[in-house]
Amino acid sequence: MNFIADWQEGENFQGEVLITNAVKGVSNNGQPYLSLTLQDKSGSIDAKKWDASEEDIANAVVGNVVYVNLDVIEYRSSLQAKITSLNSIDQSKVDYTKFCLSSPIPLEELVRKLNNYITSIQNEDCRKIIDRCFKRHYDEFISFPAASRNHHEFASGLLYHTVSMLDLASAIQNLYGNINRDLLLTGVILHDIGKTIELSGPIATKYTLEGKLLGHISLMVAEIRHIQEEANIHSEIPLLLEHMILSHHGEQEFGSPVPPLTREAFALHAIDDFDAKMIMIDKALDGVKEGEFSTRIPYLDGRSFYNHKKL
């Protein structure tokens, strides 16, 4: 039993795991406990360390790899880890690639598809903006997750999310010919690049100071405005792209200062929302037995989803 994805109820595991979330609590009997999320390259699992000692609490640092002894149990139709011991190890000797969630599609294939879509864009100003943006952020763009949690929270998750959206955008534009293909594809490529500044990276991802104070939407709008001036672009393209970035979350309560007011902006929001939520559903249903329901998904109105039997 080497990887979290292979763990089964009733089994015992002893080995190294990455801590990606840690919350201290107090039980009904007044004893401290830890609620943790443990991760390796295959997946993650919620865990509890009951009767946590001061040493346990000190060792449970988000972003650190620790050596644990735990039992796998079932709790509310999902697997959970009950930790019996938690020990620190020398972080300087850790190979973090062993604990970073990987993309379902190889990086080389994702890059190939991205390049094909970029090559297909004919508008000169769209290409200028993409090219100059990638000169600054390309390495991070192809390696960063799309979020710290909830969806595409794995290495190259941002690229995976973008390529999935490009596939959807291309199909939708074929159905609705009044949507400008170059503008929509460019908006898809650019809409989340601000996350390369907002997030810290693929390992134990957290929000940076810029991410907390400004957010990826504001960061990307500023980037487009800077590129427009730098490249001396006088067309309406930068303005339309800024609007797409500003409105891609759909509503103010979800972080967009304006709603989508162009065809392309509306399509971008719908595609982004659909792809993110489908990934949330897949994640919630992962490991759920056929004929049973998932745990509640906060970002989907707290709904539990049914894993139907194979048809």
Tell me if 147 is assigned to some domain.
yes
- Co-location of 63 and 118 in the same domain: no
Token duo for residue 270: 């719908």
- Report the SS3 class of residue 43: strand
Range of lowest pLDDT (29-43, 141-155, 268-282): 141-155
The answer to whether residues 94 and 126 belong to one domain is no
What the block records as the tokens of 85 is 């011991």
Residue 63 has pLDDT above 60, yes or no: yes
Where on the phi/psi map is residue 15: left (φ > 0), alpha (ψ -120 to 50), or beta? left
Which residues, other chains included, contact 128 with Cβ-Cβ below 8 Å and sequence gap of 6+? 227, 231, 233
Domain identity same for 78 and 137: no
What is the residue-wise DSSP string for 164-195? HHHHHHHHHHHH-TTS-HHHHHHHHHHTTTTH
Domain containing 224 equals 107-283
In a domain, 13, yes or no: yes
Mean pLDDT of the chain: 90
In a domain? residue 294:
no
Q: Are residues 123 and 219 in the same domain?
A: yes
Band (pLDDT 50/70/90 cuts) for residue 283 is confident
> 158-162, 286-290, 299-303 — which is least confidently predicted?
286-290
> What pLDDT digit, counting tens, does each position of 175-198 carry?
999 999 999 999 999 999 999 999
Q: Is the pLDDT of residue 96 over 60?
A: yes
pLDDT at 121 over 90: yes
Model pLDDT, residue 293: 92
For residues 132 and 272, membership in a common domain is answered with yes
CB atoms within 10 A of CB 185: 24
Three-state DSSP class for 269?
Answer: helix
Check whether residue 141 and residue 248 sit in a common domain: yes
For position 206, what pLDDT does the model report? 80
Whether the per-residue pLDDT at 152 is higher than 70: the answer is no
Q: Percentage of residues in the chain with pLDDT exceeding 70? A: 96
**pLDDT bucket at 257, cuts 50 / 70 / 90:** very high
**126 and 272 assigned to the same domain:** yes
Same domain membership, residue 207 and residue 149: yes
311: in domain: no
- Of residues 282 and 182, more confidently modeled: 182
The residue among 98, 122, 147 that closes a domain is: 98
Question: What confidence tier does 146 reach under pLDDT thresholds 50, 70, 90?
Answer: low
Is 292 a domain residue?
no
- Quick one: which H or E segment has residue 266? helix 263-285
Question: Is there a single domain that holds both residue 112 and residue 87?
Answer: no
Of the candidates 62, 272, 38, the one whose C-alpha atom is nearest the C-alpha of residue 162 is 272
> Is residue 103 over pLDDT 90?
no
Number of domains in the chain: 2
Q: 222 Cβ partners below 8 Å, 6+ apart?
A: none
Question: Which pLDDT score is estimated for 153?
Answer: 62
Q: Please state the rounded mean pLDDT for residues 120-126.
A: 97
Nearest to 44 by CA among 106, 84, 100, 103: 100
pLDDT in tens, 37-50: 998 888 889 999 99
pLDDT attached to residue 75: 86
Whether 305 maps to a domain, the answer reads no
* Residue 48 in domain: yes
Span 279-295, mean pLDDT? 87
Out of 98, 128, 160, pick the residue that ends a domain.
98
Distance of CA 90 to the CA centre of its chain: 28
Supply 34's token pair: 């830890």
pLDDT for residue 147: 58
pTM of the predicted model as reported, rounded to 2 decimal places: 0.76
Residues 59 and 156 in one domain: no
- Which one of 56, 74, 98 terminates a domain? 98
Q: Are residues 121 and 213 in the same domain?
A: yes
Same-domain check for residues 179 and 114: yes
Reply yes or no on whether the pLDDT at 23 is more than 70. Answer: yes
Q: What is the CATH number of the domain that holds 34?
A: 2.40.50.140
Choose among 102, 97, 253, 123: nearest CA to 189: 123
- On whether residue 297 sits in a domain, the answer given is no
DSSP strands (E only) in the chain: 12-26, 32-40, 43-49, 65-75, 78-88, 292-293, 306-307
65-91 pLDDT per residue, tens = 999 999 999 887 788 999 999 999 988
For CA atoms 139, 276, 125, 246, the dihedral sign is negative
Which helix (H) or strand (E) segment holds residue 271: the answer is helix 263-285
